[in-house]
Amino acid sequence: MFKFKVNQKLNLANKTSQKQGLLGKLKIFQAKELLSLDLRSLALFRISLAILIILDLLNRSQDIKAHYTESGVFRLAALTNEFSNEWFWSFHFINGSVLFQTILFCLAGLLAILLLIGYRTRLITIISWVFLVSLQNRNTMILSAGDTELRLLLFWSIFLPLGAYYSVDNALNSSSKKLPKGIFSGATIALILQICFIYWFSALFKIRSETWQQGIAVYNSLSPDFLITPLGAFLRNFTTLLVAFTFVTIWFELLGPFLLFIPLKNYLFRYLAIFLFISLHLSFGMVFRIGLFPLIGATAWLAFLPSDFWERIDKKLKNPHGQKLTIHYNQERKNCKKYLHILCTFLFLSEIPILSYQNDLESETELEAGTTWFIVDQKGNQYSNIKAIIYLCRLSYLSKVLVPILKCYPLRLLGIKIFKLLKNQSWVNEVSGKYLKFRPIKVNYSWLTNIITLFLVVLICLWNIRTIDASKVTIPQPMKEILSALDLTQKWSMFSTPDNSTEWYVIAGQLKDGTEIDVFRPGKSINWDKPDLQSAAFKNMRWRKYLTRLDNRKYKKHRLYYGKYLCSSWNSQNEGDQKLERFSIYYLSQETDLDGKVSPVEKENLWDHRCFKK
Q: How many CB atoms lie within 10 A of CB 558?
A: 20
DSSP 336-405: HHHHHHHHHHHTT-TTS-EEEPPS-HHHHHHHHTT-SEEEE-TT--EEEHHHHHHHHHHH-TTTGGGHHH
Residue 20 confidence class, pLDDT cut points 50, 70, 90: low
Q: Tell me: pLDDT of 194 over 80.
A: yes
590-594 average pLDDT score: 80
Q: Tell me: pLDDT of 7 over 70.
A: no
Lowest mean pLDDT among 139-148, 422-431, 594-603: 422-431
Residue 192 confidence class, pLDDT cut points 50, 70, 90: very high
DSSP 548-605: HHHTSGGGTTHHHHHHHHHHHHHHTS--GGGSEEEEEEEEEEEEB-TT--BPPPEEEE
What pLDDT score does 361 carry?
42
Q: Tell me: pLDDT of 356 over 90.
A: no
Greater model confidence, 266 or 379:
266
What pLDDT score does 27 carry?
54
% of the chain beyond a pLDDT of 90: 52
What pLDDT score does 611 carry?
93
**Angle, CA of 150, 152 and 156, to the nearest 5°:** 120
329-354 average pLDDT score: 85
Annotated domain spans of the chain: 37-304+446-485, 320-435, 501-610
SS3 502: strand
Lowest mean pLDDT among 39-53, 67-81, 575-589: 67-81
Burial of 423: CB neighbours in 10 Å, binned 0-12, 13-18, 19+: middle
Highest mean pLDDT among 10-19, 101-110, 216-225 belongs to 101-110
Closest CA to 202 of 493, 444, 447, 401: 493
260-267 average pLDDT score: 93
Greater model confidence, 439 or 3:
439
Q: Do residues 292 and 146 make contact, with C-beta atoms less than 8 angstroms apart?
A: yes
405-415 average pLDDT score: 71
252-256 average pLDDT score: 96
% of the chain beyond a pLDDT of 70: 87
Q: Tell me: pLDDT of 364 over 70.
A: no
Residue 420 confidence class, pLDDT cut points 50, 70, 90: low
Q: What is the mean pLDDT of the chain?
A: 86
What pLDDT score does 11 carry?
58
User: Helices (DSSP H) in 436-520: which residue ranges?
Assistant: 447-468, 477-485
338-348 average pLDDT score: 88
Tell me the CA distances in angstroms from 211 to 216, 287, 335, 579, one per residue in order.
5, 19, 64, 47
Q: Tell me: pLDDT of 428 over 90.
A: no
Amino acid at 471: S
SS3 178: coil
Q: Which run of H or of E encompasses 117?
A: helix 98-117
Q: How many CB atoms lie within 10 A of CB 485?
A: 11
477-505 confidence digits (pLDDT tens): 999 999 999 999 999 999 988 888 888 89
User: Helices (DSSP H) in 256-306: which residue ranges?
Assistant: 266-287, 293-302
Q: How far apart are CA 238 and CA 223, in angstroms?
A: 13
| Neighbouring residues of 585: CB distance < 8 A, sequence distance ≥ 6 | 505, 507, 559, 562, 563, 605, 606, 607, 608, 609
DSSP 326: E
Residue 331 confidence class, pLDDT cut points 50, 70, 90: confident
Amino acid at 146: G
Q: How far apart are CA 127 and CA 132, in angstroms?
A: 9
Residue 6 confidence class, pLDDT cut points 50, 70, 90: very low
Highest mean pLDDT among 203-212, 221-230, 327-336, 372-381 belongs to 203-212
What pLDDT score does 370 carry?
58
Lowest mean pLDDT among 207-221, 245-259, 425-439: 425-439
- Share in percent of the chain as helix, strand, coil (round to 5): 60, 10, 30
Q: What is the pTM of this model?
A: 0.90
Lowest mean pLDDT among 18-32, 178-192, 461-475, 503-517: 18-32
